Amino acid sequence: MRMPLLYHFAVLYYAAVWLVGVWHVSAVCAAEGAEQAQNPVIWADVPDMAMIRVGSVYYMSSTTMHMSPGLPIMKSTELVNWDLVGYAYQTLGDNDALTLTGGRNAYGGGSWASSLRYHQGTFYATTFSHTTGKTYIYTTRDIEKGPWRETSFSPALHDHSLFFDDDGRVYMIYGVGNIRLVELRADVSGIKPGAVHQTIIEDAARVTGGKGGLRGEGSQMVKFGGKYYLFNIAWPRGDMRTQIVHRADKITGPYEGRVVLRDQGVAQGSIIDTPDGKWYAYLFQDHGAVGRVPFIVPVRWEDGWPMLGIDGKVPRTLDIPAGRGGVGNIVASDEFDRRPGEPLLPLAWQWNHNPDHRYWSLEKRPGWLRLTTGRVDPDLPSARNTLTQRTFGPHCSATVAMDATNMKDGDVAGLAAFQKRYGLVGVRMQNNARSIVMVSAESDSPQTLETVPINQPVVFLRVECDYRDRKDMAYFYYSLDGRQWKPIGRALKMAYTLPHFMGYRFALFNFATKTPGGSVDFDYFRASGELTDAN
């Protein structure tokens, strides 16, 4: 079921990428010293946002797919500056795809778009997965500290929106093209037998006037002024991502719909109000190799319809104070020093697929992250226990210090700009001799572009990403003393590919091609918005 959807998305993405690339944004949120926030509010891969307001605090969930932990929860007090506060789950499941075993993987899979609700003192974060065939509902009384309780059931309700109605009944709205409504049990443990389960909107994308393409998905339901408003995305063939809304007096319909935003490909999401009565839409844009980035768009109500944008356009500058700007703790440097009682890893870190906890440690060498190979793998995408963080725009860099003393023959370890077409700089142990290597998979298969023999175990590695004006280039460097840097290999033209379906990530890795059991130690990971003069 998943692969036809991915193929469908791929056709749409590459057919319309030039349309969403006509507008370039020059700041992550607010330029230094500016008073007002700017779009995108987060210049990093935070797609499929779902959002709630509880009092004066906003919470947002997003998609991280095959990463673990997953279903991230973020917090803000003004819709612009967001901080990670936790994840709804540590692992989604333990099948071969999610654990990178048996020759399978969950790239492009895992968990997709989520829904977020607060009802009678309980927080609900929901998602679904075609990798497991299930719908998941996570609940907690404390969204910032947890713990979360999991309930799951089959089937996987695609791009659903959880909705608690005023009469006490609870529903999910889901589907592609033909949007369906299904009633759940009161305890949200599954679909309620014999209850409402019907199509409420046929061919949701019909209101765009376009033909073919993405027929309508990404459901998010809002009730306002006694009416039901269902937000969806459509993507007519040859056009751009478009935000549509249908409204009805009853949840079962009939619904009438219209286009509420067709600009810059900014779409998919819903609307939210502020304590002082303002309304905003939270949407995202396909922004090249960095991923799908969040936008905030003003909303006004006109004749009972939410009208998005200013004169139908997405503004660059918002009527919201910029605050600190930046990506907050969504990306975080790490010295790998831990005090007693501290979490082992900052929230910014996510494992590529489920980790095998036997083969990583912050305790075997205090102040260092140790990655040990537990099996033989052919390449980086196959390797387990790869630790990742988002890259971010408009430009960024990551620097690590790595001790390769305990590598075994055939091992490769280092730092990568990771997606399907990845690039890496690292140390390769071959014939019991160490070399710095730069490997590029820009052509879809990894090629070693440069090899530099070295006579020392400790090396310093750096990857830089330049997303300005959709340049989407990554550069690779090494140093033997941490001060003088040399470029290696050649620049990687990064590309957002649908098989991985996420923006590029910085990745720390170690994999064996001959014999497992070798290890490397990382002294630090330092993320920055700076680039070298060479770029």
In the chain, what percentage of residues exceed pLDDT 70?
A: 93
pLDDT of residue 2: 37
Q: Which three-class secondary structure state does DSSP give residue 208?
A: helix
- Please name which of 210, 218, 261 lies closest in space to residue 236, comparing C-alpha atoms: 210
Residue 8 clears pLDDT 80, i.e. is over it: no
Residue keyed to tokens 């095998």? 356
Count of residues in the chain: 535
**pLDDT band at 35, cuts 50/70/90?**
confident
Write the pLDDT tens digit of every residue in 404-416: 999 999 999 999 9
- pLDDT, average across residues 515-528: 98
Tens digits of per-residue pLDDT, 77-105? Answer: 999 999 999 999 999 999 999 999 999 99
Q: Which CATH superfamily is domain 2-328 in?
A: Glycosyl hydrolase domain; family 43 (2.115.10.20)
Confidence of residue 324 (pLDDT cuts 50, 70, 90): confident
Pick the more confident residue, 202 or 210: 202
How far, in Å, are 230, 424, 443, 487, 528 from residue 449 at the CA level? 51, 10, 12, 12, 26
Rounded to whole angstroms, how far apart are CA atoms 283 and 388?
25
Q: Which residues contact 220 (CB under 8 A, 6 or more apart)?
A: 50, 115, 161, 230, 231, 232, 269, 270
Q: What is the DSSP letter of 112?
A: -
Q: Phi, psi (5° rounding) for residue 410? A: 95, -5
pLDDT of residue 477: 98
- Point out which residues pair with 223 in neighbouring strands: 228
The residue among 430, 426, 530, 406 whose CA lies nearest residue 488 is 426
Question: What is the rounded average pLDDT of the residues 259-272?
Answer: 97
Examine the pLDDT at 503 and tell me if it is beyond 60: yes
Of the candidate ranges 27-31, 191-195, 478-482, 505-509, the one whose mean pLDDT is the lowest: 27-31
Per-residue pLDDT for 23 more than 60?
A: no
Confidence tier at 211 by pLDDT (50, 70, 90): confident
- Give the residue-averaged pLDDT of 512-535: 91
Q: What is the DSSP string of 252-264?
A: T---EEEEEE-ST
Range 19-40 average pLDDT: 52
Query: For the segment 475-501, what is each residue's pLDDT rounded down to a tens digit?
Result: 999 999 999 999 999 999 999 999 999
For the cut 50, the answer to whether the pLDDT of residue 9 exceeds it is no
Q: Quickly state the pLDDT bin for 377 (edges 50, 70, 90).
A: very high
Of 18-22, 253-257, 279-283, 363-367, the poorest mean pLDDT is in: 18-22
Residue 445 or 369, more confident: 369
- 331-528 folds as Jelly Rolls (2.60.120)
> So what's the pLDDT on residue 34?
54
Burial (CB count within 10 angstroms: exposed 0-12, middle 13-18, buried 19+), residue 18: exposed
pLDDT at residue 257 is higher than 60 = yes
pLDDT at 216: 92
Tokens representing 509 are 């890795």
pLDDT band at 26 (very low <50, low <70, confident <90, very high): very low
pTM of the predicted protein model: 0.92
The pLDDT assigned to 214 comes to 80
Q: What is the C-alpha separation between 148 and 61, in angstroms, rounded?
A: 14
The distance between the two most distant Cα atoms of the chain, rounded to a whole number of Å, is 74
| Residue from 239, 258, 244, 187 nearest 216 by CA | 244
Distance of CA 497 to the CA centre of its chain: 14
**Chain centroid, CA 87 distance in Å:** 13
List every span in the chain annotated with CATH 2.60.120.200.
Answer: 331-528
pLDDT higher for 214 or 404?
A: 404
pLDDT score for 27: 37
